[in-house]
Each structure stands twice: as C-alpha cells, then as structure tokens.
Structure 1
Amino acid sequence: MLMHFLMYLVPILLGTMGALWLGARFGRPWSPQDEQKQNFEHVTSLVRMLFAFTLAFVVVLVWQEYQAGQKTATAEASALTEVNWAALELPADQRDGLRQRMIVYTHKVIAQEWPAMQDKLTMDTDTRNAWDDLRRYAVQLPTVDARTTDFQHRVLTQLETAGQARRERGNETQSGLPSVFWAGLLVGAAMMLALPALWGTRFTTRSVLFLTVLATCVTGMLFLVGEMDHAFSGEISVPPTAFQELLDRLDRLS
C-alpha cells in the first residue's frame, strides 16, 4: 500500500513545488497592507472550508459503503450456516448432497469470486453456476415425511436469504462514489495546493515544508477515499473472513 501511495504522492509533490517556484519567480510579493493579500486569505479560507466539508461527507459515504459490504457478506455466510444446521436433520444422502455443494460454492466464493470482485468489480460466472446448482438441488429434494418437509422448508428459506444477500453483494461490488463527488474533491485539492503556490508565496524552506505537509495530507486523504471507494476492491476492502469461517466449519463436519 505504501508504494502505491508514493506513486501518487511523488508527482503531486513535484507539481506543487514547481508551482511554488513559478509563483515565487514570476509572482508579485505581498506588501504589509496589500489588499490582494487580504482577498487571497478570504478565498483560501473559503476553499479550505468547502474542501473539508466535501471530504468529510465523502469519507462518511465510503465508510458506510464499506460497512454495508461487510454486513452483506456476513449475512450471506450466516444464512448458509443456518442451511448447514437445518441440513443436519435431513436424511444422510440429502444432508451430504447439500453440504458437498455448499463446500464447492463457498470455496469458489473465496478462491474465484473474491479476486474477480477485487480486480474486475464483477461477480464470477463459475461461482454463480455453483450457486445455481446448490439452489436447484435444494428445490428438488424429495419429501420423506412431515418432519423432513419442515427442515427442507427451513433450508429453502435460508437459501433465499443467502441469495438476496448475494444479489446485494453483486450490486455493492459495482457501486462506487458518484463522479460529481470525485470532481469536487479533485478540484478542491488542486485549488488547496495551487493557490498558496502560485499567488506570490516566497520560495523558502518554510513555504516548501508547509506545502509538502499540505500535499501529503491532501493526497493521503484522497488515496484513502479511493481505496475505500468500492467495498470489495482496493487495498482497504471487505475480506472473505465470514466465508472462510463457514468453509472451516463445513470441512470439520464433513
């Protein structure tokens, strides 16, 4: 993650320092009573306030997006866990058939679908086929007696809950921050860095240090937002922990 962050930070720092040098080289220095300096301070204060408001709003949005993805993944795995417990009361052949298909599906979610969500922001076709096979098998289970029918109904109910969570996970995989928010963040960040650099600031150690810290903080926040933009993609994303725990439980009971 650090190298990824530095890939963004270094060119931004170079651009900011170049803008500072140009501003110091060709800009007009401030005089103590310069009216333009006062106007500049008003403008930069307004830009900082708008950028801070937009950034705070966006951080809340992406954090809620992350939590929603985590909740959805946990709900799907929890529903499949309930399927497993209900299947314990079914005849041995039905129980084993369900469990084997759940193991195949869960393994594909971890090994194939999660990487597809990470890299391509899409669900995996092979995993979807495994899910369809699990659902098809559960629907076609033969009825033996009233007690078995009751547990088969529980299995189908929990599979429907898991299916709804899976659909929500697919939607959350593709959803992200609206482009208008990204535009506001990028324009605000550019103004935050360009205004002090270009408006006659002297090229001194103090100004260089100030803009370096400012550029690092702004870049760091934008990098954080970008990594959390999609709940199942990026360095900061929802891990398949719930499905790994489910797979471990299924393996122990097999």
Structure 2
Amino acid sequence: MADGSLRSRGILLVGCLAQADGGAHAAGVVLGPGVLLSPDMQFYLLSFPLWLLFAVMVLGSALLTACASCLLGRYLPATGGDNALGLAIFQTVGAIFGITLAFTISEVYTEFEAAQSNVSQESNVLGTLYRLAIELPAPQRDELQAGLHTYAQRVVDSEWPAMAHGDHSLLARAALDRLWQVQREFQPSTPPQQTLEVRLYEQVRALTEHRRNRLLDSRSQLAPLMWALLLGGGFVTVAFALLLRSGHARSQALMSATLAAVIGFGLLLVMALDCPFSGGMHVPPDAIADTLALMPRL
C-alpha cells in the first residue's frame, strides 16, 4: 500500500493486526437529503451488473443533463450579456475537478494493481510451501500438503465470495490456523531440518501477511469526504455548463450531456476500481486456483 493513499484505513488497520477478521467498517457521511456515502452502500451498488451501472451513471446522467439543458433553454434563454466572469469560474472549477478526478483514478488503479499483485504473491507462497513440505517426514508432509490444499480451496470457494461484501471466511481462517499448528508441531532433529523449520516459518508468516493485505484491500475504500468532493465537484461542473447559456440550445444540450457522460464514466471507474474484490471489475482468484490445480503435480 502506498503511503500517500487516499483511503481511510484507521479502524481497518486494527482489524488487520488481528488476522484481518474484524468486521470494522468506516461510518457513512450524509451529504444532504437521501445521499449516504458508506462502505455498505458502495458494496450494494457494485452488486449490480456493470452494464446496468454504466447505463444509469453514464447514459442516465447524459440524458438527464440534456433534458435539463432543454428546459433551461426554454425558461432561461440566453440574454446576450457578458459571461466572462461565469466562464472564468467555470474553467477554474472544471480544472480543479478534472485534476482531482484524474488523480483519484490513478490512485485507485494503482491500488487495484497492488491488490492483484498481492494475490499472485500469495499463490506463489502456497506453491513454495507445498514444495517445502516434500522435505518433511511423512506425517508432517501429508498434513501440511493437505492443509495447504484445504486452505487454497476454501479461499477460492468461500473467502472470495465473502470479500465481495467486505467480509472474510471463518473456514479459511481455520485452515490457516491449522497450517500454523503443523508448523509448530514440527520438531527438527538435524541441522538441515532446522533450516527447513526456519523456511517453513517464514513462508507461513508470508502467507498470513498476504491474506491480511488481501482482506484489508477488500474492505478499504475512498474516504467519504473524498466522495463528497468528487460528487459535489461533478455536480457543480455540470451545473455551470448548463447555466452558461450560449444561445444554441441543441449544441449546448449535446455538449453538456457529453460532459455529464464523461464525468459519470469517471466516477463509475473510481467506484469499480475502489473495491478490487467487488463488482464486475474485480480481481479473480485465478492465481490461487491455478496453484491449487498444480499442487498434485508439484
């Protein structure tokens, strides 16, 4: 995770230190009547198909803006006065909002890629542990390999669907606890086995850390204040585009609708990338599933 992250992680970090199994969620912030920005609301919106969200946020906002422009053209016609001041304010607001939106998209995309990389590293650790288990005596070898298979299976089948809602799997946690138990029960009797014990400890610890990071990624979201800035900035920018009448009703309606569609698409992209394990654009468990399929041949 980058140090300059935009996300609010205070409470979530406490849950991470306790095996990331706490159910902490940042509280929502009300921004006017009927608008609630909360983790649960974002997870709820992302439960809808991506095409439906695109239709509502992009096409819907464009259609609504075009209708508003036509109504304003009828009841608030252009006066022919000097709009220099309004245009200057519109350019300033638009530039600030555009820079903020671009920076936010870049940030959430970077963290989306980091979450994807963390999953790949977790799958690599699983493969390494499975290979190290071959060097153990028969009882511990069989127990560790069976435990790794169970952990990977439960992560794919149980924990991944739970992470779509910011939750975790008790079954996956129990499987990880069993791996720690097998590691502690191994008593080395020779120098090579002592070296093996150290390597096993390091790999199980790395597996635990990757799981903690994965669960943290599934829960952490943009701060509500940041969402307030994005939504408010988008609304003000479109409002300026509507109120600065040009005298050409159709062209202004088309340009305003295009602006609203671009802003809606940007906000949709932020929302989809902000939750890397939820919605239509999510990190799949393919890396861990591939390692699970390869285990019998390792």
Query: How does the TM-score come out when normalised to structure 1?
Result: 0.90
Instruction: Report the residue type matching 1:148 in the other structure.
Output: Q
CA distance in structure 1 between the partners assigned to 2:248 and 2:151 by the alignment = 61
Q: Deviations over 1:182-241 (max 9, x none)?
A: 111111111221222234344633222212222221111111111001222222222222
Aligned equivalent of 1:41 = 87
Given that 2:140 and 2:182 are in contact with CA atoms closer than 8 Å, whether structure 1 keeps it comes out as: no
Say which of 122, 136, 146 aligns to 2:167.
122
Instruction: Report the residue type matching 2:133 in the other structure.
Output: A
Instruction: Report the residue type matching 2:135 in the other structure.
Output: E
Is 1:238 the equivalent of 2:283? Answer: yes
CA distance in structure 2 between the partners assigned to 1:214 and 1:150 by the alignment = 62
Instruction: Report the residue type matching 2:67 in the other structure.
Output: G
Is 1:112 the equivalent of 2:158? Answer: yes
CA distance in structure 2 between the partners assigned to 1:207 and 1:200 by the alignment = 8
Q: Deviations over 1:104-155 (max 9, x none)?
A: 100111111111111x112211111111112112211243533333223211
Select between 94-103 and 84-93 the one with higher mean Cα deviation.
Answer: 84-93
Given that 1:117 and 1:233 are in contact with CA atoms closer than 8 Å, whether structure 2 keeps it comes out as: yes
Say which of 106, 129, 132 aligns to 1:83.
129
1:18 Cα deviation after fit: 3.1
Instruction: Report the residue type matching 2:142 in the other structure.
Output: D
1:134-149 aligned at under 5 Å gives the runs 134-149=179-194
Select between 41-50 and 166-175 the one with higher mean Cα deviation.
Answer: 166-175
Give the fraction of aligned pairs with identical amino acids, expressed as a percent.
28
CA distance in structure 2 between the partners assigned to 1:2 and 1:208 by the alignment = 24
CA distance in structure 2 between the partners assigned to 1:23 and 1:7 by the alignment = 22
1:176 Cα deviation after fit: 1.1
Q: Deviations over 1:36-94 (max 9, x none)?
A: x1112111111110111101110121012112212222222222222112111112222
Query: How does the TM-score come out when normalised to structure 2?
Result: 0.78
Aligned equivalent of 1:23 = 72
Aligned equivalent of 1:186 = 231
Instruction: Report the residue type matching 1:111 in the other structure.
Output: D
Report the structure, 1 or 2, having the larger helix content: 1
CA distance in structure 2 between the partners assigned to 1:196 and 1:30 by the alignment = 16
Aligned equivalent of 1:95 = 141
Say which of 160, 163, 174 aligns to 2:205.
160
Aligned equivalent of 1:177 = 222
Larger radius of gyration: 1
Q: Structure 2, unaligned stretches of length 5 or more?
A: 1-49
Instruction: Report the residue type matching 1:150 in the other structure.
Output: T
Given that 1:230 and 1:237 are in contact with CA atoms closer than 8 Å, whether structure 2 keeps it comes out as: yes
